[in-house]
Amino acid sequence: MNVKPCVQCGYCCRIRPCVYGTKNQLHPVSESCIYLLRNIGPTSRIQTYFCGMWETIKELEKDAKFPMCGSGCSSTLFNPMRDRVLQVIKEMAVERLTK
Ligand code: SF4
Ligand code: SF4
């Protein structure tokens, strides 16, 4: 199977929390997982996210045949956040090569 890499765009966790996550029950609209946290990266051009439950999930899934986390991206289509991260990565690579 051709699995695409996760680029930490945060889209999947904002659309619907996984089995380990949960949305903010007090928020009337947002479906975003409360454990989804913003990465403070070296550049503000790419906004990426990480899971605040990662260490716990990794431990819970240590014997899983098909672990959920770290298995790549299953939300590559119609995903503007992932497209944006990839676009900025490409732009930065071109800038490096042409400097
Ligand atoms: S949508 Fe895909 S690329 Fe974005 S965080 Fe989820 S798995 Fe990673
Ligand atoms: S628990 Fe982590 S992986 Fe699951 S939806 Fe929340 S932030 Fe995403």
b/e map 74-85, b = 16+ CB within 10 Å: ebbeebebbebb
25 exposure class (CB count in 10 Å sphere: 0-12, 13-18, 19+): exposed
Ligand nearest to the CA of 73: 1
Quick check: is 35 in a domain?
yes
3-state secondary structure of 81: helix
Quick check: is 49 in a domain?
yes
3-state secondary structure of 51: strand
* pLDDT tens digits, one per residue of 54-90: 999 999 999 999 888 888 998 999 999 999 999 999 9
pLDDT band at residue 42 using 50, 70 and 90 as cut-offs: low
Domain extent for 78: 11-63+73-97
Q: Does the beta carbon of 48 sit less than 6 angstroms from any atom of ligand 1? A: no
Quick check: is 5 in a domain?
no
**pTM of the model as a whole:** 0.89
* pLDDT tens digits, one per residue of 13-29: 999 999 999 998 888 88
pLDDT at residue 8, as a whole number? 94
Quick check: is 6 in a domain?
no
Helix (H) or strand (E) holding 49: strand 49-51
Quick check: is 39 in a domain?
yes
Q: In total, how many domains does the chain have?
A: 1
Contacts of 30 (CB under 8 A, 6+ apart): 14, 23, 24
Quick check: is 84 in a domain?
yes
Distance (Å) from CA 50 to ligand 1 centroid: 10
